[in-house]
Amino acid sequence: MRVLVTGATGFVGRHFCEALVERGHHVVAAVRQDGACPPPAGVTPVIVGDIGPDTMWRTALSGINAVVHLAARAHVMRETADDPEAAYRRVNVEATRRLVEEAVAADVHRFVFLSTVKVNGEATTTTAFQPEDMPNPEDAYGRTKRDAETALIIAAEGSKTETVIVRAPLVYGPGMKGNALTLFRAVANGLPLPFGSVDNRRSMIFAGNLTDALMNTLEEPAAAGGVFFVSDNDDVSTATFARRAAAALGRSSRLLPMPVGLLKFIGRMGGKSAMVERVVGSLQIDISDFQKKLNWTPLFTMKEGLEQTASWYKSR
């Protein structure tokens, strides 16, 4: 199969492209410019420039059977855009719409779109999110990924192009960035962390499991038209994740039993309420529909995933 992958040089993209090559697929990577960040070995780069509503995809889509769209404007730690919402919309919505329209015109058989659990919301209470739940995004990233899903479905409706939407939670693994790397670094450095009293439940996914799940949505006929959640199927508290990361790193976890109410108060005083809520709140997703329809189980346990992550971290 000839597969076009966007975001091929990113964290998830590199893992996925390597797996595609191993499975014998011909992989084409859409890249911004030549040589800036080479894709994995065995992948053919095609220059498309910056991804947006005016991107020309015709050359990249030539002879392509399937598209896996991983590229997105995700969480920006130091925002510089004058209008952040518009910047998110340009990449996440308008660029997706343009790519789908051109994929449909090129008779691409399947279009897989990597979305996020943030489409559903930021937290769960008594029950896990289900794919059919009403979307309730709370930030620009979540809103624009929701709108991108809608644009994808509308653009492909009535065409030969089958769509698959995969909503993922926090992804960890070799090459990770963001909050997962920050936590890993703190544990590796032996820093005391105030999570000892946090008893939440959060769904997460190891990059190897996400790669395998995406492979299934690409290859399995039963995935067509689906909106799926994927995870390690092992929801844990922030404290448990930190302890498991410490064990994988061969370090002792140093978790202080700070009351959750005090953590939230400190977050409010420091203007970091959203960040604290992600640490102490629950966010669970139900992957049973994906497991049933695609006969899927995670390839790796969280322990195995963290061990691979620790090996990568220590080799940096």
Residue 105 belongs to some domain of the structure: yes
- Of the residues 88, 141, 172, 313, only one is catalytic, namely 141
What average pLDDT does this structure show over 190-217?
Answer: 94
Which of the four pLDDT bands, split at 50, 70 and 90, describes residue 214? very high
Is 153's pLDDT higher than 60?
Answer: yes
Residue 86 belongs to some domain of the structure: yes
Listed in sequence order, the residues at least 6 apart from 126 whose beta carbon sits closer than 8 Å to its beta carbon are none
Residue 92 belongs to some domain of the structure: yes
- The tokens for 36 are 């800036």
Place of tokens 């392509």: 64
Pairwise CA distance, residues 180 & 278, whole Å: 12
CB 230 within 8 A of CB 241: no
Which of the four pLDDT bands, split at 50, 70 and 90, describes residue 278? confident
Coil/strand/helix, residue 24 = coil
Is 88's pLDDT higher than 60?
Answer: yes
Place of tokens 């969480």: 75
Which of the four pLDDT bands, split at 50, 70 and 90, describes residue 283? very high
Place of tokens 């789908």: 100
| Closest alpha carbon to 308 in 170, 168, 175 | 175
> What is the largest distance, in Å, between two alpha-carbon atoms of the chain?
58
Backbone angles phi, psi at 45, to 5 degrees: -80, 140
β-sheet bridge partners, residue 259: none
Residue 185 belongs to some domain of the structure: no
Pairwise CA distance, residues 89 & 313, whole Å: 33
> Range with the lowest mean pLDDT among 15-19, 175-179, 302-306?
175-179
Pairwise CA distance, residues 226 & 4, whole Å: 20
Residue 196 belongs to some domain of the structure: no
Pairwise CA distance, residues 128 & 236, whole Å: 13
- The terminus-to-terminus CA distance of the chain in angstroms comes to 34
Is 79's pLDDT higher than 60?
Answer: no
Report for 26-35, 86-95, 159-168, 254-263: range of highest mean pLDDT: 159-168
Q: What is the DSSP letter of 223?
A: G
* Count of domains observed in the chain: 1
CATH code, 130: 3.40.50.720
**Higher per-residue confidence, 274 vs 304:** 304
Containing H/E element for 288? helix 288-294
Mean of all residue pLDDT scores within the chain? 91
Domain ranges, residue 154: 2-168
Which of the four pLDDT bands, split at 50, 70 and 90, describes residue 238? very high
What average pLDDT does this structure show over 207-212?
Answer: 97
Residue 174 belongs to some domain of the structure: no
Q: Is 88 marked active-site?
A: no
> Range with the lowest mean pLDDT among 20-29, 126-135, 275-284?
275-284
> Tens of pLDDT along 12-58?
999 999 999 999 999 998 888 765 667 777 888 888 888 889 899 98
pLDDT (0 to 100) of residue 287: 97
pLDDT (0 to 100) of residue 81: 62
Tell me the pTM.
0.93
Residue 115 belongs to some domain of the structure: yes
Residue 16 belongs to some domain of the structure: yes
Is 121's pLDDT higher than 70?
Answer: yes
Write the Ramachandran bin of 67: left for phi over 0, alpha for psi from -120 to 50, otherwise beta.
beta
What average pLDDT does this structure show over 235-250?
Answer: 94
Percent of the chain with pLDDT over 90: 66
